[in-house]
Amino acid sequence: MMMMDSFWRFWSFSGPLRTRQGLRYLFKMSLAVSLRRALLVLLSGAIFILTVLYWNQGGGKTQAYSEALERPHSHKDGTAFPIPVEKFWTYKCENDRCMRVSYHAGKTAKRVSFITCSMTCGYVNIWPAPTIKSLVSAQTTSFSLEIVQLEMDTPHREVRKQLQLSFDSFLKDLRQIQRLDYAASPAEMGESESSSWSSNNDMVGAATSGQRRSGGLESLLVKISVQKSGDVDFSLDNDESYQLSTMTESHRLLVEIKANSFFGARHGLSTLQQLIWFDDEDHMLHTYVNSKVKDAPKFRYRGLMLDTSRHFFSLEAIKRTIMGMGLAKLNRFHWHLTDAQSFPYISRNYPELAEHGAYSESETYTEQDVREVADFARIHGVQVIPEIDAPAHAGNGWDWGPKRGMGELAVCINQQPWSFYCGEPPCGQLNPKNNHTYLILQRLYEELLLATGPTDLFHLGGDEVNLDCWAQYFNDTDLRGLWCDFMLQAMARLKMANNGVSPKYLAVWSSALTNTKCLPNSQFTVQVWGGSTWQENYDLLDNGYNVIFSHVDAWYLDCGFGSWRSTGEAACSPYRTWQNVYKHRPWERMRLDKKRRKQVLGGEACLWTEQVDENQLDNRLWPRAGALGERLWSDPSDDHDLDIMAPEVFRRISLFRTRLVELGIKAEALFPKYCAQNPGECI
């Protein structure tokens, strides 16, 4: 009705007057509509601003959070340090536990980082735990890497050389931890710049002229003393014990590491590295003002096996694995170099093995590669033990014999149906009646011994021989006797390759053969891979063999990822958690007497790689391999039920996992990060 009235008012005028009045009226109406729209926009904007102010008032979001939102950043920055700074939180120690508390810059006391709280609250955070003594002071101090120096006190030239290399590696790790670029070591400089070996007492360090020195210390001197043994070759008789002490006086910190051998001193450096941490609040390294550690391993053999046949792994990945082993005080890297799937090693004498057996030209190892890995491992206190598995698990790479006039070097290669002739595809076993086969093995042993150095332990393989395969060719022979003869022949060829000296310990995998007593127990050591409750565990010890435990139900790290083929059993399960690895103490469960316990050289975790390549390597191994490290180094008593773990073990392995990540090892997460930030709440 109102609209109709307006219409008639507009048209009630006549002529020019009507036009002028009508236009004026329309202008007024449009102006009113525009004003209403503008007011509505202003009101909406005001409501939005008030809403934002409301949500940001008080302690809803800290200034640090707001600044983080404003900063451009990428969640996929591959160059960023793997552990972020946690500016939202500070930590305080209550009842030997670090408690997370919200932090507001300027409103509360100085922020305490999680790692600083962890290192100064409760148990001493060393992994594996020292076996004899570990004491640290409540007071800490800060420093920067450039003030760290090394002084060596030893009459042994080779020990000095290896200690220098190990110290260079130690400094490199600290640079990584402190987020610094790594400066070239003496080995990477010209000879004129490198350290002199002319005296028994050498001092070198990280500082150079003109570098800025900061922190609570003016100097940090690491003094390493090795007086007794000049041996740098690996042996199960190596003395790996050490003593470490730190003392601070007048802003000068002295670290003393005393050991009877290079190997003990190297473990002392690993422990020292775990007594140092980086505080992201003051951007300095920290350590204790005073500390004392006395330590020695419970078991001589603490191993980790990696299979590089089912998948190839680069030298960088292998070195990264060895670096983690050194920190965990694992001392034997068992390199399962070849298998039926591939032969990636380029032999100097028989390159045909790799030409016919490698996955590709780039997926190969040379003798120099093996030497490089062995030298790197020695610096970290780790021995490389290569294995050419034989007579079984040998197929691809061995099929060129007839072309060279050497006959069939192997039989059953890739034979189908595979389930009749081998444990998993592809099949293949060496020909036990071809002398060329033994000559090739001898030459391979020579090359590998030359690359890895003198040793008292060598692995001959001997795993899972399928007698039905051989029966197709040698059905008139005692097949088990043939198997035994093969291993004894391999032992003889190894002795020839080792300049007429047979290594004291010849390792073979447990099998039907090792239960027959055909192999002399004075020379053969059996790596027991079967179940921990199997009768063979007792039989082997009763038969006088030394053993290395690698029980599939505890220390096989490839288990629990499902079947990789459609037929037959292709997987072990369930997944072996770090708790499974840690709590496995077969020598206790078996109630061994002193005599039989001495026959247990130690243990080894195994990673077969049917379902593992370089993309998964780190998180399949770590931190579970670290759990094995403490079990074999410290072997702490365990009064808890089978599935219960002491809270302090959770806290220490969580921090050990953080240290691995700091060094660039992509270790598997143990639990949600909330649980890591709030120790004890999730156990």
Q: How far apart are CA 77 and CA 66, in angstroms?
A: 21
Same domain, 413 and 281: no
Q: How many domains does the chain have?
A: 2
Most confident of 21-25, 34-38, 152-156, 475-479: 152-156
- C-alpha Rg value of the chain to the nearest Å: 34
Same domain, 319 and 459: yes
Same domain, 393 and 480: yes
Q: What SS3 state is found at 312?
A: coil
Q: Which pLDDT value is given to residue 79?
A: 56
User: Is 267 contained in some domain?
Assistant: yes
Same domain, 393 and 417: yes
| Residue spans of beta strands (DSSP E) within 328-439 | 332-338, 383-390, 410-411, 429-430
Structure tokens at 631: 């079990």
User: Is 34 contained in some domain?
Assistant: no
Looking at residue 198, the DSSP 8-state letter turns out to be: S
Same domain, 273 and 349: no
Same domain, 287 and 308: no
The pLDDT > 70 percentage for the chain reads: 82
Looking at residue 494, the DSSP 8-state letter turns out to be: H
Other C-beta atoms within 10 Å of 104: how many?
Answer: 13
Same domain, 473 and 578: yes
Sheet holding 242-249, edge to edge: 133-136, 291-295, 242-249, 252-259, 219-226, 148-153, 201-205
Looking at residue 481, the DSSP 8-state letter turns out to be: H
Q: Which of 183, 185, 178 is nearest to 204 (CA)?
A: 185
- Determine what percent of the chain falls in helix, strand and coil, rounding each to the nearest 5: 40, 20, 45
Q: Which pLDDT value is given to residue 182?
A: 40
Residue 548: exposure state from Cβ atoms within 10 A (0-12, 13-18, ≥19): buried
What confidence tens digit (pLDDT) does each residue in 31-60 have? Answer: 555 666 766 767 777 676 666 555 554 444
Rounded to two decimals, the pTM is: 0.86
Same domain, 566 and 597: yes
Same domain, 362 and 397: yes
262 Cβ neighbours under 8 A, 6+ residues apart: 159, 162, 163, 226, 229, 231, 232
Which of 262, 296, 330 marks a domain boundary?
A: 296
User: Is 507 contained in some domain?
Assistant: yes
Same domain, 287 and 314: no
Q: How far apart are CA 368 and CA 346, in angstroms?
A: 10
Decide which of 381 and 14 is more confident. 381
Residue whose structure tokens are 């076996």:
131
Range of the domain at 165: 130-182+215-296
User: Is 284 contained in some domain?
Assistant: yes
User: Is 63 contained in some domain?
Assistant: no
Q: Which pLDDT value is given to residue 586?
A: 97
Q: What SS3 state is found at 288?
A: strand
Same domain, 487 and 628: yes
Residue whose structure tokens are 């507001």:
104
User: Is 493 contained in some domain?
Assistant: yes
Q: Which pLDDT value is given to residue 74?
A: 46
Same domain, 234 and 357: no
Other C-beta atoms within 10 Å of 515: how many?
Answer: 14
User: Is 645 contained in some domain?
Assistant: yes
User: Is 572 contained in some domain?
Assistant: yes
> pLDDT class for 509, splitting at 50, 70, 90?
very high
Catalytic residue IDs: 464
> Residue 144 sits in a domain of what CATH number?
3.30.379.10
Q: Which pLDDT value is given to residue 681?
A: 87
Q: Which pLDDT value is given to residue 562?
A: 87
Q: Which helix (H) or strand (E) holds 247?
A: strand 242-249
Which of 273, 296, 319 marks a domain boundary?
A: 296
> Residue 324 sits in a domain of what CATH number?
3.20.20.80
Taking 70 as the threshold, does the pLDDT of residue 505 lie above it?
yes
Question: For the chain, what is the mean pLDDT?
Answer: 87
Secondary structure of 88-111 as H, E, C letters: CEEEEEECCEEEEEECCCCCCCCC
> pLDDT class for 193, splitting at 50, 70, 90?
very low
Q: How far apart are CA 632 and CA 603, in angstroms?
A: 7
The pLDDT > 90 percentage for the chain reads: 75
Which of 266, 296, 326 marks a domain boundary?
A: 296
Residue whose structure tokens are 């198997």:
483
511: Cα within 13 Å, side-chain hemisphere: 22
Structure tokens at 534: 């199997």
Q: Which of 552, 556, 558, 559 is nearest to 574 (CA)?
A: 559
Taking 50 as the threshold, does the pLDDT of residue 197 lie above it?
no
